[in-house]
Amino acid sequence: MLDITKDIQSLTTFRRRSGDFMKQLKKSKQPVILTVKGKAEAVVQDAEAYQRLLDIAARADIHEAIRQGIDDVAKGRTRPAREAFDAIRRRHGIPR
């Protein structure tokens, strides 16, 4: 959960106290939002937390692809594998 007293800071403060912020990032695993002239401009987080976020996004993509595939089958938007492979062979001049 975002704590606005710790997790939203000015870029100037971040520059001055970057070591403290790095310790906070590693300990809390929470991102820090950096502001410039009061407007959010960047998000900083530790590498482990960022990797976790990438892994979650990748899993979400896989789940969406599976959902779309199931939807295609349900709506009859498929064809037998033999037809698909024959079309690929013809397109690329691959003999059978």
pLDDT in tens, 65-96: 999 999 999 999 999 999 999 999 999 999 98
Same domain membership, residue 53 and residue 18: no
- Residue range 31-59: average pLDDT? 94
Same domain membership, residue 53 and residue 37: no
Range of the domain at 81: 49-92
Cα separation, 74 vs 63, in Å, equals 17
Same domain membership, residue 56 and residue 40: no
Count of domains observed in the chain: 2
DSSP state of 34: E
Print burial letters for 19-30: b (CB count within 10 Å at least 16), e (below 16): eebeebbeeeee
Same domain membership, residue 16 and residue 31: yes
Cα separation, 30 vs 21, in Å, equals 11
Would the pLDDT of 6 be above 90? Answer: no
Cα 71 to its chain centre, rounded Å, is 24
